[in-house]
């Protein structure tokens, strides 16, 4: 399936391992040349390992990807992927997807390629039978305007599902962070005061073992049932992710040696101003069954192991399905940052007028 726009061909393709390197480099070039990244840093360098974390899991339909080719050279200059998401809305499940990591080569931007890629992806998603899609937008970036244009072109409703008002960061080495992120002098001082990792004196805390998987799945299923809107995670994907060498998972056991809490993160490269440092993305957090003290120690144990791996810190948008207090006690910093989770409705889905509880992860 192809489309054309001036000197470009927009086409659906089947993603293969051989594409990972080229597409990783394309995404990195696009992200590092972003206007906000040029001013503030805090961008992402995509490696083949990062690309694999995003698009390697078993549930990914490798045929539902779109690229832009520049006809004179046949170079790949644009890309957008799709991540399938099973969505629970007040106990009823729907097939959703996430348009992921839209990127256009800096030398080919402002040619309408971002919108053309999004339109093609929406076309194949609707034909594949998805009920809708959702996307995370930062208010200061161009992505929201592109999404509005795509929705308008396809006569699809784009509605805000929830607003996210905070971002979380845990810094182990402020001097390293300043190489890739522009921070003010008082932020520098505050980060330095929060570098220390607290002690962990709890024999019930340890690293993930493969035998823990059924208990981790159970905890995730319980949280889905508690929330109005939630991602229903694919079990094979969770197994695949937890066993990935880029992943770090720490668990807490109850008195019967059953996992009653865990935190999962994966490694990526935080980049800016010509530099890059290893960092961790906090992906899934389950501490609702733990006391504040237990959750704080589990967070400290995560930090200890992340630092031993050479990560310089951790970060994630804050979705309040877990309590912030124990993480603040573990020197995680919560700061204001406006983001929205928006939904493309391909079919009518009865979302609640006010969302009181929701559960998402960020892979």
What single string gives the DSSP state of each residue in 188-230? HHHHHHT-PPPP---TTEEE--GGGHHHHHHHHHHHHHHSSEE
Mean pLDDT for 190-214 is 97
pLDDT at 172 > cutoff 80: yes
pLDDT tens-place string over residues 19-32: 999 999 999 999 88
Mean pLDDT for 320-326 is 95
- How confident is the model at residue 2, as a pLDDT? 56
Reported as type and span, the H/E element at residue 350 is none
- pLDDT-derived band of residue 199, with 50, 70 and 90 as boundaries? very high
- How confident is the model at residue 42, as a pLDDT? 83
Cα 137 to Cα 86, 148, 207, 292, distances in angstroms: 20, 11, 33, 31
CA 281, CA 274: separation in Å to the nearest integer?
A: 21
- How confident is the model at residue 1, as a pLDDT? 47
pLDDT tens-place string over residues 255-274: 999 999 999 999 999 999 99
Strands (E), the chain: 2-5, 8-13, 43-45, 65-70, 75-89, 92-104, 132-138, 157-171, 205-207, 229-232, 247-253, 259-272, 275-286, 313-317, 333-345, 358-359
CA 204, CA 196: separation in Å to the nearest integer?
A: 22
pLDDT at 280 > cutoff 70: yes
pLDDT at 228 > cutoff 90: yes
**Cα 12 to chain centroid, rounded:** 23
Question: Could you tell me the residue ranges of all domains in the chain?
Answer: 2-163, 166-338
pLDDT at 6 > cutoff 90: no
- How confident is the model at residue 56, as a pLDDT? 96
* β-strand partners of 248: 265
- pLDDT-derived band of residue 184, with 50, 70 and 90 as boundaries? very high
- How confident is the model at residue 344, as a pLDDT? 96
CA 318, CA 339: separation in Å to the nearest integer?
A: 10
Higher confidence at residue 285 or residue 41? Answer: 285
Say which residues have a Cβ less than 8 Å from residue 274's Cβ, sequence separation at least 6. Answer: none
Find out whether 116 and 3 touch, Cβ atoms under 8 Å.
yes
Length of the chain counted residue by residue: 363
Q: How much is the pTM? A: 0.94
- How confident is the model at residue 39, as a pLDDT? 84
| Residue % of the chain over a pLDDT of 70 | 98
Instruction: Give the pairing type, strands 229-232 and 75-89.
Output: antiparallel
- How confident is the model at residue 362, as a pLDDT? 66
Find out whether 173 and 195 touch, Cβ atoms under 8 Å.
yes
Closest CA to 312 of 139, 133, 113, 172: 172
324, two tokens? 């912030």
Helix 20-32, helix 48-55: angle, nearest 10: 100
290, two tokens? 């733990």
pLDDT tens-place string over residues 111-170: 999 999 999 999 999 999 999 999 888 876 677 899 999 999 999 999 999 999 999 999
* β-strand partners of 191: none
CA 108, CA 174: separation in Å to the nearest integer?
A: 36
Q: What is the DSSP string of 69-123?
A: EETTTTEEEEEEEEEEEEEEETTEEEEEEEEEEEEE-GGG-SSSHHHHHHHHHHH
Say which residues have a Cβ less than 8 Å from residue 286's Cβ, sequence separation at least 6. Answer: 216, 219, 220, 223, 261, 262, 263, 322
- How confident is the model at residue 306, as a pLDDT? 98
- How confident is the model at residue 40, as a pLDDT? 85
- How confident is the model at residue 121, as a pLDDT? 97
207, two tokens? 């690293």
- pLDDT-derived band of residue 5, with 50, 70 and 90 as boundaries? low
pLDDT at 241 > cutoff 50: yes
- pLDDT-derived band of residue 4, with 50, 70 and 90 as boundaries? low
Class of the CATH domain delimited by 2-163: alpha beta
CA 256, CA 297: separation in Å to the nearest integer?
A: 19
- pLDDT-derived band of residue 36, with 50, 70 and 90 as boundaries? confident
22, two tokens? 């080229």
pLDDT at 197 > cutoff 90: yes
* CATH for 166-338, options being 3.40.250.10, 3.40.630.30, 3.30.2020.10, 3.30.70.330: 3.40.630.30
pLDDT at 363 > cutoff 70: no
* β-strand partners of 336: 166
């Amino acid at each position: 399936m192809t489309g054309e726009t001036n000197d470009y061909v927009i086409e659906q393709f089947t993603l293969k391992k051989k594409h990972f390197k080229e597409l990783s480099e394309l995404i990195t070039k696009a992200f590092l040349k972003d206007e906000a990244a040029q001013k503030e840093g805090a961008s992402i360098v995509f490696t083949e390992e990062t690309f694999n974390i995003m698009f390697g899991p078993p549930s990914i339909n490798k045929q539902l990807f779109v690229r832009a080719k520049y006809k004179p050279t046949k170079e790949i200059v644009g890309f957008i992927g799709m991540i399938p998401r099973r969505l629970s809305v007040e106990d009823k499940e729907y097939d959703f997807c996430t348009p992921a990591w839209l990127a256009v080569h800096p030398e080919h931007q402002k040619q309408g390629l971002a919108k053309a890629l999004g339109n093609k992806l929406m076309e194949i998603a609707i034909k594949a039978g998805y009920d809708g899609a959702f996307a995370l937008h930062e208010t200061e970036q161009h992505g929201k305007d592109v999404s509005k244009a795509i929705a308008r072109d396809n006569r699809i409703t784009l509605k805000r599902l929830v607003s996210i008002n905070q971002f979380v960061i845990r810094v182990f080495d402020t001097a390293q962070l300043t190489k890739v992120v522009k921070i003010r002098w008082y932020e520098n001082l505050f980060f330095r005061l929060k570098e220390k990792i607290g002690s962990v004196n709890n024999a019930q805390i340890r690293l993930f073992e493969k035998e823990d998987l059924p208990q981790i799945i159970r905890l995730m299923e319980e949280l889905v049932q508690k929330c109005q809107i939630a991602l229903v995670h694919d079990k094979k994907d969770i197994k695949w992710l937890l066993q990935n060498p880029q992943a770090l998972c720490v668990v807490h056991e109850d008195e019967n040696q059953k996992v009653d809490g865990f935190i999962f993160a994966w490694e990526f490269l935080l980049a800016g101003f010509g530099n890059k440092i290893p960092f961790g993305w906090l992906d899934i957090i389950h501490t609702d069954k733990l006391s504040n003290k237990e959750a704080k120690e589990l967070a400290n144990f995560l930090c200890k192991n992340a630092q031993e791996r050479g990560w310089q810190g951790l970060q994630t948008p804050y979705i309040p399905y877990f309590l912030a207090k124990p993480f603040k006690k573990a020197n995680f910093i919560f700061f204001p940052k406006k983001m929205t989770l928006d939904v493309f409705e391909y079919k009518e889905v009865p979302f609640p007028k006010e969302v009181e509880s929701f559960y998402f992860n960020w892979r």
